[in-house]
């Protein structure tokens, strides 16, 4: 069960621990409406820039529409979450959302719950299967998925996308890929025992009946999520390949791994270092900066500008869950509620030249290089310390993030909100992900790591 919690939380690393508490109560319509009011106020009062992507009038209209949609006299947590998620998603900020109902999903899965058996993504204009967990093996990766229970697949995904927050369609589609079609379909459509599925096989449309699969034994226990960064170091004839893992959890353990990795890398004296930030959910700058210190040749920063918005809710959250004595926390407490201010992080010192890697550095990224992973890739690119390889990240490297958490007072539903604005080292605020210097597309229907394979092939060639 810990593995399931880890997988679902891996992308949204700052989801509060209290969100894992079970809550099986039903709530009155009035209680849910009161939580909607609280959420509406909190988004406007705590988000660093609540109207960056939506107007005040549009948000008010979405609020009124959500109030009208809450019609039941009694709602459980799943029902309330389903109604409140699209409202929070109106801010179109990937780091601000009503959180996926993790405890309810875990409870459902652990009690023998079943899921839709196909995973699928939007790829080159169509929805295509990436994994088939059913017993009908005629459906192969790359098969076009056309409908579920008679509903066009475009309409199905449109409903799923409403639950997800993101700045642009590419980000929302990528986030849906992470959460997966089976999990999202369960949340939006509810449990089902079987499905009528329209697919294209051998050039013709076919309707197949697929049985639901066990959420644990036939799904969670036998698959790997798109965000799956783990500490690892490997060597080829002319390159070290370092996956630093996600930038979170135990900082001392992380530093020990990075230290030992660069000792081994220096021993090998290889001309190329590949840092793999694909499938990386991000985390904290203190982790990323420690990695960068082994590459940097001068003092550096992880961003060019960092702004925060102080608020009563943020102060309450910090007082309850964090050390309030640091300079960073003191800066927040010293500001009036609602005040936006700049916070200047000191420059980080590089490692001594004798310990640094001084060969060619390549950073692998993909659409699932999120948050601090995208920021770090941009940092290494902007300082000229690395060549970026792979595909554009779905996440912007200049973004609204640095989240904090709170629970809605009646339902206990967890919410995360961006309290900060991060601007990449170059100062570029463009609404683009981290763009690769060497673009290598990945085939989502092939389990082979084609991006790394192609990069290694490139490195075998003489450098110009």
DSSP states along 129-175: EEEE-SS-TT--TTPEEEEETTEEHHHHHHHHHTT---SSHHHHHHH
Domains of the chain, first to last? 2-110 (no CATH), 114-214 (2.30.42.10), 232-460 (3.90.226.10)
Span 393-407, pLDDT tens digits: 999 999 999 999 999
- For position 323, what pLDDT does the model report? 62
In this predicted structure, the answer to whether residue 13 has a pLDDT above a threshold of 80 is: no
Q: How confident is the model at residue 464 (pLDDT cuts 50, 70, 90)?
A: very low
pLDDT of amino acid 24: 65
| Residue 395: both structure tokens together | 């996440």
What is the maximum alpha-carbon separation in the chain? 70
Alpha helices in 347-427 (DSSP H): 372-382
Query: What CA–CA distance (Å, rounded) separates 10 from 224?
Result: 12
Spatial separation of the C-alpha atoms in residues 411 and 29, rounded to whole Å: 11
pLDDT surpasses 90 at 222: yes
**Cβ-based neighbours of 90, under 8 Å, separated by 6 or more:** 54, 58, 59, 62
Q: Which residues of 181-214 are buried (b: 16+ CB within 10 A; e: fewer)?
A: bbbbbbbebeeeeebebbbeeeeeeeeeebebbb
Q: What is the pLDDT of residue 23?
A: 60
The pLDDT score that the predictor gives to residue 25 is 85
Q: Is the dihedral of CA 337, 318, 401, 184 positive or negative?
A: negative
Half-sphere exposure of 427 (CA within 13 A, CB side): 0
For the chain, give the mean pLDDT. Answer: 94
pLDDT tens digits for range 309-357: 999 999 999 888 766 678 899 999 999 999 999 999 999 999 999 999 9
Query: What is the average pLDDT across 59-65?
Result: 98
For residue 42, the model assigns a pLDDT of 98
Is the pLDDT score of 302 beyond 60? yes
pTM (2 d.p.) = 0.94
384-436 pLDDT, tens digit each: 999 999 999 999 999 999 999 999 999 999 999 999 999 999 999 999 999 99
Given a cut of 50, whether residue 21 has pLDDT beyond it is no
Residue 4 corresponds to which tokens in the numbers above? 């399931």
CA distances from 381 to 270, 299, 428 (A): 21, 15, 12
pLDDT at residue 365 greater than cutoff 70: yes
Provide the phi-psi class of 112: left if phi over 0, else alpha when psi is between -120 and 50, else beta: left
Give the pLDDT confidence score for residue 11 in this predicted structure. Answer: 38
Q: Is 90 exceeded by the pLDDT of residue 1? A: no
The answer to whether residues 389 and 440 touch, using CB atoms and an 8 Å cutoff, is: yes
Q: Residue 166 class from Cβ within 10 Å (0-12 exposed, 13-18 middle, 19+ buried)? A: buried
- 4, pLDDT greater than 70: no
**Using 50, 70 and 90 to split pLDDT, how confident is the model at 49?**
very high
Which pairing describes strands 232-235 and 340-342: parallel, antiparallel, or unpaired? unpaired
Q: Does 12 score more than 90 pLDDT?
A: no
Q: What is the DSSP letter of 355?
A: T
- Tell me how far apart the alpha carbons of residues 173 and 101 are, in angstroms, rounded to a whole number: 19
């Amino acid at each position: 069960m810990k593995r399931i919690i880890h997988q679902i939380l891996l992308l949204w690393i700052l989801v509060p621990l209290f969100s894992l508490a079970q809550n099986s109560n039903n709530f009155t319509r009035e209680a849910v409406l009161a939580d909607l009011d609280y959420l509406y106020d909190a988004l406007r009062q705590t988000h660093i820039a609540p109207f960056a992507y939506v107007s005040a009038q549009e948000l008010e209209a979405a609020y009124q529409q959500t109030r009208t949609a809450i019609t039941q006299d009694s709602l459980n947590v799943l029902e309330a979450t389903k109604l409140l998620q699209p409202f929070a998603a109106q801010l179109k900020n990937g780091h601000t959302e009503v959180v996926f109902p993790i405890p309810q999903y875990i409870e459902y899965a652990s009690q023998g719950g079943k899921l839709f058996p196909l995973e699928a993504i939007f790829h080159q204009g169509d929805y295509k299967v990436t994994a088939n967990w059913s017993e009908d093996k005629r459906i192969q990766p790359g098969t076009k998925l056309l409908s579920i229970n008679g509903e066009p697949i475009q309409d199905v995904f449109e409903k799923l996308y409403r639950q997800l927050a993101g700045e642009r369609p590419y980000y929302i589609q990528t986030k849906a890929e992470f959460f997966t079609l089976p999990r999202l379909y369960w949340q939006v459509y509810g449990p089902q025992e079987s499905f009528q599925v329209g697919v294209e096989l051998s050039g013709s449309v076919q309707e197949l009946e697929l049985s639901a699969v066990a959420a644990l034994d036939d799904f969670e226990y036998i698959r790997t999520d798109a965000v799956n960064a783990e500490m690892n170091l490997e060597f080829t004839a002319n390159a070290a390949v370092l996956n630093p893992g996600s930038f979170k959890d135990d900082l001392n353990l992380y530093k020990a791994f990075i230290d030992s990795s660069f000792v081994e890398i220096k021993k090998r004296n290889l001309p190329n270092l590949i840092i793999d930030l694909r499938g990386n959910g991000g985390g904290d700058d203190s982790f990323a900066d420690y990695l960068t210190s082994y590459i940097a040749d001068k003092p550096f920063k992880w961003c060019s500008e960092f702004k925060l918005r102080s608020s009563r809710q943020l102060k309450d959250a910090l007082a309850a869950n964090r050390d309030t004595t640091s300079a960073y926390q003191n800066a927040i407490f010293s500001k009036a509620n609602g005040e936006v201010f700049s916070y200047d992080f000191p420059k980080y010192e590089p490692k001594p030249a004798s310990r640094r890697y001084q060969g060619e550095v390549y950073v692998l990224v993909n659409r699932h290089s999120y948050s601090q992973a995208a920021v770090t890739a941009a940092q290494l690119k902007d300082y000229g310390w690395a060549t970026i390889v792979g595909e554009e990240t779905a996440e912007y490297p200049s973004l609204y993030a640095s989240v904090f958490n709170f629970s809605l007072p009646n339902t206990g539903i967890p919410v995360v909100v961006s309290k900060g604005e991060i601007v990449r080292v170059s100062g570029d605020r463009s609404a683009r992900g981290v763009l690769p210097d060497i673009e290598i597309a990945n085939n989502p229907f092939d389990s082979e790591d084609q991006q790394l394979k192609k990069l290694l092939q490139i490195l075998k060639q003489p450098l110009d």
